[in-house]
Structure 1
Amino acid sequence: MGKVRVGVIGCGSISQYRHLPEYAANKEVELVAVCDIVEERVKEVANKYGAKAYTDYKELIQSGEVDAVSVCTPNYLHAPISIEALNNGLHVLCEKPMATSQEEAEAMIEAAKKNDKKLMIAHNQRFVRSHQKARQLIENGEIGKIYSFRTAFGHPGPEGWSIDGKDSWFFEKEKAYIGAMGDLGVHKTDLLRYLLGEEIVEVGAFIETSAKEFADVDDTAVCALKTENGIIGTLAASWSYTAKEDNSTIIYGEKAILRLEDHPEYSLVVQYTNGEVVNYDLGKIQSNDEGGQNTTHVINNFVESVLTNTEPPINGEEGMKSLAVILAAIKSNETKTLAKVFE
């Protein structure tokens, strides 16, 4: 096939920071259509990228002019739009969290299978170089048995970078379904599954709204997680880290401790039990401050899987397993008991 003809549905911040510039930079892509319910916004974006503007996603999907779409809408629309696109024979790259329930996630996976199309979920943490190096060290047995971990993803909140500020859909329960846990926590459950190479099976969580009085979703969550082989650790996700972002992960092993994105200079620090310390300078983790210079690799991987007809690195099943941990955390918080993942 020639170039992949792409449409981007939803022209908010994630689309403008990531999807649009990264598609535009990809030589194998023709960015042909953009869609947003805000007419002024979509016209501006369409002009900038020389694409056709739509305000109705169904029209874009049924236009016959695209091979693939990115779904960059509020969370509650991820599943319906993705399923509609898959059923119309389009490949789909969907933002995270892929859906707001397991049923929705399963329906998306089913639609991809039935129509023999690619479904990829935009979890970008797996493509961070320090994370890939850490996974390699763990797989090679470099740090021995893993005992514990802690991971955090927090920043001052979406109002600072969402196109709509405090009026953003991120803060509305009907549209977002879940707050910091869905926005940031799901990135980290995906990362932990990738790094540890095993599934998380049980969760205990406290989920609160402590910083954003105007929001009707959670903004701070702390979870205890247990994997199938009994590794236990914590995950914190928050929009209440007011001064500086934290995106760090620490893995405690028998032979060494791995510190990922935890040091101001070195993206990976390995502290061995014999006292030796190895610092890796693998470049900064991508963040929105750096603009489009620093690719997240998500878009390029998606395009490649479409062109080469190979399974995307983070398919629907992977997305669903990472979402399931978040759903279990919500259940744990509501029932005040430990919740099993996938139950």
Structure 2
Amino acid sequence: MTKLRVGFIGVGGIAQSRHIPAFIKLSDKVTIVGVSDVNEETAKRVASENHIPNVYADYRDMFKDVDAVTICTPNKFHAEITVAALEAGVHVLCEKPMAMTTAECEAMLAASEKSGKVLAIAYHYRFMKETQAARRLILENEIGSPMVARVKALRRRKVPGWGVFTNKDLQGGGSLIDYGCHFLDLSMWLLGQPAPIQVTGTTYNRLSKMPDQINQWGSFKHETFEVDDHVTAYIKFENGASMLFETSWSANIKDDEESVSISGETGGIDLFPLEVNQAKNGMLLSSKADWIPGEEDPGLPQALNFVNSCLGLEELVVKPHEALQVTKLIDAIYKSSETGESIRIY
């Protein structure tokens, strides 16, 4: 079997910790050709540590040598690099979020459709074994038609003080676009991708602008902190479903909390951990999963799905038009907070 030739554009923390190790494990299907990064010393070090043969000073020079690339740059460059790769006939796995704006996402989607090449977005929460199991249960009608989602992605005083996470120009936002986006994507997927029609959102950055910061994830300058660190939203969907959403890097809570709770007509599902709640046979029943098959690290099944999709062996789990929908929600939440009004999407 011909192997997929893969390159990496941007080799910072997420590339080193998730994407490169995952693709190395797929050596029966993949040949890693090279890396490119604006920091050439980092690119050379990562290539050497992982026995990758080529370092490209200009990422465009990589396109002639690869079938696919993984893009792990700051958000500002997702659209530009993705479109260039697709126009060069190269498949793309792009880190989340899809891009900084809806318009950029639409340009990426159009380039994918025109080229016929695969465009995947790295919303890896869909690949967790718990979420895969929850999806199966919903599709098998264990809770009936989903009605209400309650979604929390909360960290206690964990603003990422490294990299460019607090740089609005390079990232487009803070906790919502970096962290909460995963949970918007996951909950939309579990709900069955209903069309959102109205969004009311509020963003905050008061906590991280206060002096004498206590932060568990590195230091940052509170004087110049310019992105959101806490966000709430209420979303209504065309099919009558609704979502209560909250995300934060720095909430004043007892413990970090990641949870998705979906109430359906005949039951409910909670994540994390996975639990099914039902009312039947005259009883209220709650069932926790004792064992769920699958990989502990979602990076490997994510990479495998991308590779197999490029090889024509399966469909993408995260389709680009679904990732575009997440960015539309993010745009609407930010706009609602700025204007103080609910935003109609359709």
Aligned to 2:285: 276
Worse-matched range after superposition: 252-261 or 309-318: 309-318
Displacement over 3 Å in runs of 4+? 156-160, 241-245, 281-286, 293-296
Q: Deviations over 1:137-178 (max 9, x none)?
A: 223332134332211123357755xxxxx2521110110011
Aligned to 1:147: 147
**Structure 1 gap ranges (5+):** 161-165, 262-266
8 A Cα contact 1:268 1:282, kept in partner:
no
Corresponding position: 1:208 with 2:217? no
- For residues 97-176 of structure 1, what are the structure 2 equivalents within 5 Å? 97-156=97-156, 160=160, 166-176=161-171
Aligned to 2:247: 237
Aligned to 2:333: 329
* Separation (CA, whole Å) in 2 of partners of 1:75 and 1:35: 16
Aligned to 1:251: 262
Corresponding position: 1:223 with 2:233? yes
Aligned to 1:163: none
* Separation (CA, whole Å) in 2 of partners of 1:6 and 1:67: 6
* Separation (CA, whole Å) in 1 of partners of 2:239 and 2:331: 21
Q: Deviations over 1:221-276 (max 9, x none)?
A: 11111111122221112111477432210112232232110xxxxx2111222222
8 A Cα contact 1:193 1:199, kept in partner:
no
SS, match of residue 171 in structure 1: coil
SS, match of residue 151 in structure 1: strand
Q: Deviations over 1:166-213 (max 9, x none)?
A: 252111011001111111222122112211112222211111113323
Change (3 A) 1:45 1:109: same
Aligned to 1:300: 304
1:40 deviates by 1.9
**Structure 2 gap ranges (5+):** 210-221
Aligned to 1:341: 345
8 A Cα contact 2:158 2:250, kept in partner:
no
Aligned to 1:264: none
SS, match of residue 258 in structure 2: coil
Change (3 A) 1:179 1:93: same
SS, match of residue 275 in structure 1: strand
Please, what TM-score do these two structures have when normalized by structure 1?
Answer: 0.88
Change (3 A) 1:244 1:12: farther
Please, what TM-score do these two structures have when normalized by structure 2?
Answer: 0.87
1:37 deviates by 1.1
Q: In the alignment, which of 167, 176, 181 is matched to residue 176 of structure 2?
A: 181
* Separation (CA, whole Å) in 2 of partners of 1:48 and 1:204: 47
Aligned to 2:61: 59
1:323 deviates by 1.2
- For residues 34-45 of structure 1, what are the structure 2 equivalents within 5 Å? 34-45=35-46
8 A Cα contact 2:230 2:251, kept in partner:
no
Change (3 A) 1:185 1:48: same
Change (3 A) 1:157 1:174: farther
Q: Deviations over 1:24-54 (max 9, x none)?
A: 1112111111111112211110001222122
Change (3 A) 1:301 1:157: farther
